[in-house]
């Protein structure tokens, strides 16, 4: 079977979509985790800076009219506990620096309590707390600024980003693997259906009944209705052929019967001769028409072979009885040699009858007047038709069973070249063979239908 190359593949498209979705989700996951983590780390630093500044502000006191501060140890150690970052502070009373780095800038009023800026070449974050202290009757404004570099924070956020990237990538890998599985399982019913249809023989037109998901139901229904129509049309053709055969044969049979009756009654030898010729011509045309129709029917039926048991001996005897009148016209004696009582076989009886009739018909046709035909039935199972006719030409044997092929030996005998084609096709449909050999006992040929032994 030739495979077409499909431009689009559902599987590929499904995979691509699932993969894109997974990649977008992974990226979103990475960005969210990183943002949340950075925010949390920054908040933590802000809180500690504020706590530190507040505890310094709480330690400002006034004594004998002067404002002083006792830097609490905890105020700066709590900052050191989160990282190795450098810490700066400045305490101002009014505009005067009381202690700390006096170049540490005051926050711009607009900024609120936290601010980020460059200080001594490094980025720092600061928290500012203001208090009002009273010293010697006057109220003073005290400002505490605590700042810290942000190296630790950067390190933390880098670590978290790295982790988020690893987790996001892992997620992507898992999602890709799952997409593969999903695509596979989504397409599995389609594959199952394809296989169940592909496995069928050419004559199997039963509806597809594999379990199908609802999405495939319309396709399966369409397929089934197509096969039903095909089956109906095959049956119709077969009925038509049978009907046509009947309509062609019946009037011809009537003409033949009438001619035969007249032949019996007529006295004059010249009348007898022309009536015989007429009967022969009728036989010939009914044979040719019949063969064309037979071949059409055989072609149809070999595709859907019937499976019935019948007796080959009985069928052969029926066929001989049927053709005996034709043989009688040429004074040919047909004798049946039985080496078995019965030969029950499985197959298509109508087809078999066709094969037998065509081979015997040939034997009669290609035999001279006043000769003998022997039909030999042996146990093999084998049915041989031995005649004393002209025999096959050796040159013809290669493709004598081809459609419409006639031998070089036919002379003026009319025919359609379909008889052996029919016999051969029928035998092959039954797993048997058609054998053509010369008559071992002298002049003529021996054509055999051989069955497989089961
Ligand atoms: N019994 C026979 N003796 C000699 N030749 C035969 C015999 N049967 C068939 N043939 C040869 O085989 C050819 C093909 O036979 P067939 O297919 O029945 O076609 P047809 O009989 O219409 O010519 C015949 O034309 C003839 O040459
Ligand atoms: Mg023939």
> How far is it, in rounded angstroms, from Cα 53 to Cα 62?
18
Partners of 382 in the β-ladder = 378, 450
Q: Are residues 330 and 439 both part of a single domain?
A: yes
Quick one: 148 and 240 in the same domain? no
Q: Within a domain: residue 48?
A: yes
- How many angstroms separate the CA atoms of 56 and 53, rounded? 5
In a domain, 3, yes or no: no
Cα(222) to centroid(ligand 2), Å = 43
**Domain ends where: 304, 339, 358?**
304
Residues 6+ away with beta carbon under 8 Å from 453: 380, 381
Residue 115 and residue 137 share a domain = yes
The predicted pLDDT at position 290 comes to 82
Cα pseudo-dihedral 53, 55, 60, 61, rounded to 10 = 160
User: How high is the pLDDT of residue 6?
Assistant: 53
Residue 40 host element (H or E): helix 10-58
Confidence of residue 1 (pLDDT cuts 50, 70, 90): very low
Kindly state the tokens that stand for 157: 């956020």
* 3-state secondary structure labels for all residues of 362-410: HHHHCCCCCCEEEEEEECCCEEEEECCCCCCCHHHHHHCCCCCCCCCCC
Select the more confidently predicted residue: 112 or 29: 29
Which one of 304, 338, 370 terminates a domain?
A: 304
- Interval 426-437 mean pLDDT: 94
pLDDT in tens, 292-312: 888 888 888 887 788 899 999
Among 355, 366, 402, 418, name the best residue to mutate to test ligand 1's pocket (greatest count of ligand atoms within 8 A of Cβ): 366
Ligand 2 mean position, distance from CA 322 (Å): 16
User: Do 332 and 377 fall into the same domain?
Assistant: yes
Percent of the chain with pLDDT over 70: 96
**Same-domain pairing of 454 and 334:** yes
CA distance 188 to 370: 70
User: What confidence tens digit (pLDDT) does each residue in 240-297 have?
Assistant: 888 888 888 889 899 999 999 999 999 999 999 999 999 988 988 887 888 888 888 8
Across the range 307-332, mean pLDDT stands at: 94
In the sheet that holds 96-100, the strands lie side by side as 96-100, 87-93, 138-149, 122-135, 114-119
Task: Give the C-alpha separation, 348 to 431, whole Å.
Answer: 12
**Confidence tier at 355 by pLDDT (50, 70, 90):** very high
Q: Name the residue at shortest CA distance from atom 19 of ligand 1.
A: 417
Question: Is residue 188 in a domain?
Answer: no
Instruction: Give the CATH number for residue 66.
Output: 3.30.450
- Note down the domain range covering 115: 11-159
Which range has the worst mean pLDDT, 3-7, 363-367, 421-425? 3-7
Is the model's pLDDT at 106 over the cut of 60?
yes
pLDDT recorded at residue 199: 84
End-to-end CA distance of the chain: 31
Indicate the pLDDT class of residue 397, thresholds 50, 70 and 90: confident
Say if residue 324 is in the same domain as residue 243. Answer: no
Which pLDDT value is given to residue 111?
A: 65
State the ligand closest to the CA atom of 366: 1
Q: Is 294 in the pocket of ligand 1 (CB under 6 A)?
A: no
Q: Are residues 231 and 331 in the same domain?
A: no
Comparing 266 with 199, the larger pLDDT belongs to 266
Q: How many domains does the chain have?
A: 3
384 neighbors 447 (Cβ within 8 angstroms): yes
The alpha carbon of residue 207 and the mean position of all alpha carbons in its chain are separated, in whole angstroms, by: 17
Query: Does some domain include residue 296?
Result: yes
Instruction: Give yes or no: residues 283 and 322 share one domain.
Output: no
Question: Mind listing the pLDDT tens digit for each residue in 128-155?
Answer: 999 888 877 788 889 999 999 988 888 8
Residue 214: Cβ within 10 Å count: 6
Contact 431, 450 (CB under 8 A): no
pLDDT digits (tens, 9 = 90+) for 145-182: 999 998 888 888 888 889 989 999 999 999 999 989 98
CATH of the domain at 447: 3.30.565.10
* SS3 label, residue 175: helix
228, 369: one domain: no
pLDDT of residue 7: 64
* Eight-class DSSP state of 106: P
Mean pLDDT of the chain: 89
pLDDT per residue as tens digits for the range 202-221: 677 888 887 788 888 898 89
| pLDDT beyond 90 at 64 | no
**Residue 311 within any structural domain of the chain:** yes
Taking the CA atoms of 99, 105, 106 and 107 in sequence, report the sign of the dihedral they define: negative
HSE (side-chain half, CA atoms, 13 Å) at 49:
29
CB–CB of 37/159 below 8 Å?
Answer: no
Report pLDDT for 95. 85
Q: Which two tokens stand for residue 439?
A: 């008559």
- The answer to whether residue 4 sits within a structural domain is no
Nearest residue (CA) to ligand 1, atom 4: 391
Q: Which of 95, 129, 159 is the last residue of a domain?
A: 159
Asked if residue 347 has its Cβ within 6 Å of ligand 1, the reply is: no
Residue 297 and residue 322 share a domain:
no
Question: CB within 8 A of 133, min separation 6: which ones?
Answer: 60, 61, 62, 67, 93, 139, 140, 142
Domain co-membership, 387 together with 408: yes
Pocket of ligand 1 contains residue 406 by CB under 6 Å: yes
Ligand 1 neighbourhood includes 363 CB (under 6 angstroms): yes
Compute the distance between CA of residue 353 and CA of residue 347 in angstroms, rounded to an integer.
11
Q: Which of 55, 36, 37 is nearest to 47 (CA)?
A: 55
Q: Is 367 in the pocket of ligand 1 (CB under 6 A)?
A: no
**88-104 tens-digit pLDDT:** 999 998 888 989 998 99
- In this structure, the answer to whether residues 253 and 374 fall within a common structural domain is no
Give CA–CA dist 143/164, Å, rounded: 40
In a domain, 175, yes or no: no
**273 CA to centre of ligand 2 in angstroms:** 25
- Check pocket membership of 391 for ligand 1, CB cut-off 6 A: yes
CA 453 to chain CA centroid, nearest Å = 38
Helical spans, DSSP H, in 59-150: 73-80
Is 180 domain-assigned?
Answer: no
Ligand nearest to the backbone CA of 393: 1
Q: How confident is the model at residue 53 (pLDDT cuts 50, 70, 90)?
A: very high
């Amino acid at each position: 079977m030739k495979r077409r190359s499909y431009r689009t593949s559902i599987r590929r498209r499904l995979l691509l979509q699932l993969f894109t979705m997974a990649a977008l989700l992974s990226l979103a996951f990475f960005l969210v985790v990183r943002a949340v983590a950075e925010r949390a780390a920054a908040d933590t630093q802000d809180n500690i800076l504020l706590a530190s500044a507040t505890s310094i502000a709480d330690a400002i006191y006034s004594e004998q009219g002067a404002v002083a501060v006792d830097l609490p140890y905890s105020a700066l150690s709590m900052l050191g506990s989160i990282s190795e970052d450098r810490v700066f502070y400045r305490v101002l009373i009014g505009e005067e620096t009381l202690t700390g780095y006096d170049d540490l800038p005051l926050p711009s009023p607009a900024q609120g309590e936290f601010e980020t800026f460059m200080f001594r070449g490094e980025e720092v974050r600061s928290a500012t707390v203001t208090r009002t202290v009273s010293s010697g009757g006057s109220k003073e404004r005290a400002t505490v600024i605590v700042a810290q570099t942000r190296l630790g924070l950067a390190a933390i956020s880098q670590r978290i980003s790295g982790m988020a990237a690893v987790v996001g990538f892992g997620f992507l890998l898992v999602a890709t693997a799952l997409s593969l599985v999903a695509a596979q399982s989504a397409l599995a019913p389609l594959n199952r259906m394809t296989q169940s249809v592909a496995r069928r023989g050419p004559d199997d037109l039963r509806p597809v009944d594999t379990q199908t998901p609802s999405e495939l139901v319309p396709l399966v229904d369409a397929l089934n209705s197509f096969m039903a129509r095909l089956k109906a049309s095959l049956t119709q053709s077969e009925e038509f052929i049978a009907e046509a055969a009947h309509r062609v044969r019946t009037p011809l049979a009537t003409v033949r019967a009438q001619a035969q009756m007249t032949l019996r009654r007529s006295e004059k030898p010249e009348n007898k001769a022309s009536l015989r010729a007429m009967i022969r011509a009728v036989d010939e045309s009914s044979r040719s028409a019949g063969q064309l129709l037979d071949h059409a029917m055989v072609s149809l039926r070999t595709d859907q072979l019937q499976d019935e048991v019948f007796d080959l001996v009985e069928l052969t005897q029926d066929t001989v009885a049927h053709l005996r009148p034709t043989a009688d016209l040429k004074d040919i004696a047909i004798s049946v040699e039985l080496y078995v009582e019965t030969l029950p076989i499985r197959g298509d009886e109508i087809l078999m009858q066709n094969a037998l009739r065509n081979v015997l018909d040939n034997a009669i046709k290609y035999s001279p007047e006043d000769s003998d035909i022997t039909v030999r039935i042996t146990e093999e199972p084998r049915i041989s038709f031995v005649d004393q006719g002209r025999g096959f030409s050796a040159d013809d044997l290669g493709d004598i069973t081809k459609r419409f092929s006639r031998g070089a030996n036919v002379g003026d005998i009319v025919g359609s070249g379909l008889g052996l084609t029919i016999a051969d096709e029928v035998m092959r449909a039954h797993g048997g063979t058609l054998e053509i050999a010369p008559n071992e006992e002298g002049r003529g040929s021996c054509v055999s239908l051989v069955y497989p032994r089961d």
